[in-house]
Amino acid sequence: MSVLLVALGAAVGAPLRYLVDRAVQARHDSAFPWGTFVVNVAGCLLLGVLVGGATAGAVPGSLVTLLGTGLCGALTTYSTFGYETVRLFEQGFRLGALLNVAASVAAGLGAAFAGVMVAQAIWN
C-alpha cells in the first residue's frame, strides 16, 4: 500500500514541480533558478508541517507517505538544484552559484523549521 501512496503523490508532485518551475521562471528575466528555488522551499515547508503534525499525532503515517515522501519527494529536486548551480558557475555567474547554494540551504531549512513550528502551533 505504501508504494502506491508514494507513486500517487509523485504522480502529482512531478508535474506540479514542472508547472510551478516554468511559471515562476517565466516571470523572472535572470539566470538565477527561481523556479527550482521556489519548489524546493515550498516542499520543505510542506514536509515540515507534515512531520510536525505526525509528531503531534495529528497527521497519519499514510498521509505523510502520500504527501511527504510521494508529493514532496517529486516536487523538490536536489539534482536540478545541483545542475543549475554548476551551470551558473560555468556560465561565469560564480557569485550567483554561491548565492543559490546559500539561499537554497538557508531558506529550505528555515521553511522546514517554520513548517514544524506551524504544525506545533496548530496541533499542540
Query: For the purposes of burial, counting CB atoms within 10 Å of the CB of 56, is it exposed (0-12), middle (13-18) or buried (19 or more)?
Result: middle
Spatial CB neighbours of 17, under 8 Å, sequence gap ≥ 6: 39, 74, 75, 76, 77
Backbone phi, psi, residue 69, to 5°:
-75, -50
Q: Is 95 exposed, middle or buried (0-12, 13-18, 19+ CB in 10 A)?
A: exposed
Per-residue pLDDT 10s for the chain (124 aa) are: 899 999 999 999 999 999 999 999 999 989 999 999 999 999 999 999 999 999 999 999 999 999 999 999 999 999 999 999 999 999 999 999 999 999 999 999 999 999 999 999 999 8
What's the pLDDT score for residue 124? 85
Annotated binding residue 70: no
Residue 59 is classified by DSSP as: S
Ligand-binding site membership of 73 (annotated)? yes
